[in-house]
Chain A
Amino acid sequence: MPKIKLPSKSPHIDMTPLVDLFSLLLTFFMLTATMKTSEPAPIDTPSSVSEKPSPDANIMTVVLAKDNRVFFNVDNGKDTILHFRSKILEEMGKRYNIVFTPAELRQFEQYGTSMGVAMNDMKAFLAAKDPKVKSALEKGIPIDSVDNQMAYWVLYTRQINPAVQALIKGDADVEYPVVKKVLDILQDKNVSRFSLVTNLRKVEVTSDKK
């Protein structure tokens, strides 16, 4: 029997197609990437059939967490040069007799996630480096009639950025009285058109079903 000589194969695998595919995927993901915004509390939004996408800029969001804490977030507008966030904080500081240093204002401007801190804890909140300390200070923004800080946040935000749109992002299990209070605040400050953030679901209904 003749001996079959196996061709000595090189251990190299041609990786070119793999690299091709990977670069394609990488480009796709890089271009479509919109970063997930992290929230200080997990929010499980309810679903609706609405297909309207949420706006990108000029939004203020009232976040209602499951434990009935209320958070507030506002963006810097279309351009970071507008410094909306620091202007709003400055106005809030004037209202509550707190003077913020330029460094604090800058820090607030760059703090992208929603925050639920009362104004007298704001300085400590901005100074804190440890996220544990930060989250301990987030007891929710006061919304009761004695100390209605949310109303002022909404008011000054609308003064500084008149094009702002209001969004409410609530957890499905938030109790109605809290929702009612927030709606009242918005209505009180003449924000009568706003949007509720929801997930998409599909529902088919026809009239000849029955």
Chain B
Amino acid sequence: MAEIIQEEKQKGGKRRPKKGSTHIDMTPMVDLMCLLITFFMLTTAFSKPKVMEIVLPDKIKKDQKVDPPKIADSRTLNIILGPDDIVYWYPGKPDASKPLQKTDFSANGIRQVLLDRNLALFKKIEKFQKDVIAGKINIQPDSVRTAIKALKNDDDTGPIVLIKFYKKAKYKNLVDVIDEMSIVGIARYILTDIYPVEEVMVETALASAPKTVTPPIAKK
């Protein structure tokens, strides 16, 4: 509490200078500050949300006639996102007689599949990044991303990934699969509609899944 200095009336009329105490009571100030700090701490959004940019091709109008782009079957890789975070994939053209390969979003799942096919480009990007960090390549930090983009554009060995969604897929799967593309450095990928054939393939794969004895927990 504030020290109240009791002024003594000087009798002789000679006033001595007041001997003021240097202590100010700071308790209310501290109280208020505590309150304000708590308020700001609780209302502050510390980490700004991050965004992931995606670009979709322009929609083809109905009266427009555009030939579908020609893609080599050997380079295409189809990914179908199924329910419960299951990922189905198969290379080349849809073939109902061949069963779909089943995997998941773990580090050894779809990422390994993509990495195996994209190894040449991935190594190139990795080497480039290492060189930049080591200082072998003198480049502005801003243009690193542009340089990687150029590397991706020049690439003609990596897979062309067609990403399709079974109707029970979740939004999280969409984000995850695009994320995998950027992790592995896939140069060319596109989100497309699922073919009816592929829907049937997913359904047969789903129907046959419970028959397999391997429980999913034991796998991990």
Known: A48-B178, A52-B53. A64 touches B171 (CB 8 A): yes
A32 (CB) vs chain B CBs: closest residue: B44
Flag if A25 contacts B170 (CB, 8 Å): no
User: Quick check: which of A96-104, A115-123, A130-138, A180-188 contacts chain B, the rest being far away?
Assistant: A180-188
Indicate if B19 sits at the interface (CB-CB under 8 A).
Answer: no
Judged by a CB distance under 8 angstroms, whether A12 is at the interface is: yes
Whole-angstrom distance from the CB of A201 to the nearest CB of chain B?
A: 8
Please name the residue on chain A nearest to B111 by beta carbon.
A205
Please determine whether A203 and B183 come into contact, CB atoms closer than 8 angstroms.
Answer: yes
B52 CB contact (under 8 Å) in A22, A55, A196: A196
CB neighbours (8 Å) of B27 from chain A are 15
Residue of B nearest to A44 (CB): B172
Binding-face segment, B55-63, B133-141, B152-160, B210-218: B55-63
Minimal beta-carbon separation of B185 from chain A (angstroms): 9
Beta-carbon contact of B48 and A54 below 8 Å: yes
- Contact check, B123 vs A195: say whether CB atoms are below 8 A apart: no
Please tell me the number of chain A residues within 8 Å of chain B, measured between CB atoms: 62
Question: Does B132 sit at the interface, judged by CB under 8 A?
Answer: no
Q: Inside 8 A of B23's CB, which chain A residues have their CB?
A: 12, 14
B206 CB to closest chain A CB, in angstroms? 15
B37 interface residue, CB < 8 Å from A?
Answer: yes
Is there an interface contact between A175 and B51, defined as CB atoms closer than 8 Å? no
Q: Are A200 and B51 in contact (CB under 8 A)?
A: no
Give min CB distance, A188 to chain B, whole Å.
6
> 1/0 per position for A9-47, CB-CB distance to B under 8 A?
000101110110011011001101111110000000111
Which residues of the partner chain A approach B190 to less than 8 Å between Cβ atoms?
Answer: none
**Interface footprint category on B:** 35 or more
- Main SS class of interface, A: mixed
Min Cβ gap B98→A in Å is 24
Are the CB atoms of B174 and A29 closer together than 8 Å?
Answer: no
Q: Complex Cα distance A172/B176, Å? A: 10
A177 within 8 A of B: yes
- Residues of B participating in the A interface, judged by any CB pair closer than 8 Å: 3, 23, 26-27, 29-30, 33-34, 36-37, 40-41, 43-59, 81, 107, 111-112, 115, 119, 122-123, 126, 165-176, 178-179, 182-184, 191
Other contacts beyond A175-B168, A180-B165, A210-B112: 17, CB < 8 A: A22-B33, A29-B44, A33-B43, A34-B44, A36-B43, A46-B175, A52-B50, A176-B167, A177-B167, A183-B191, A192-B55, A192-B56, A199-B47, A200-B50, A205-B107, A205-B184, A207-B122
Interface of A toward B, CB cutoff 8 Å: 12, 14-16, 18-19, 22-23, 25-26, 29-30, 32-37, 45-55, 64, 167, 169-180, 183, 186-188, 190, 192-200, 203, 205-207, 210
Q: List 15 A-B contacts (CB under 8 A).
A: A12-B23, A32-B46, A33-B40, A33-B44, A34-B45, A35-B43, A46-B171, A53-B49, A169-B49, A176-B166, A176-B169, A183-B56, A188-B59, A190-B59, A207-B119
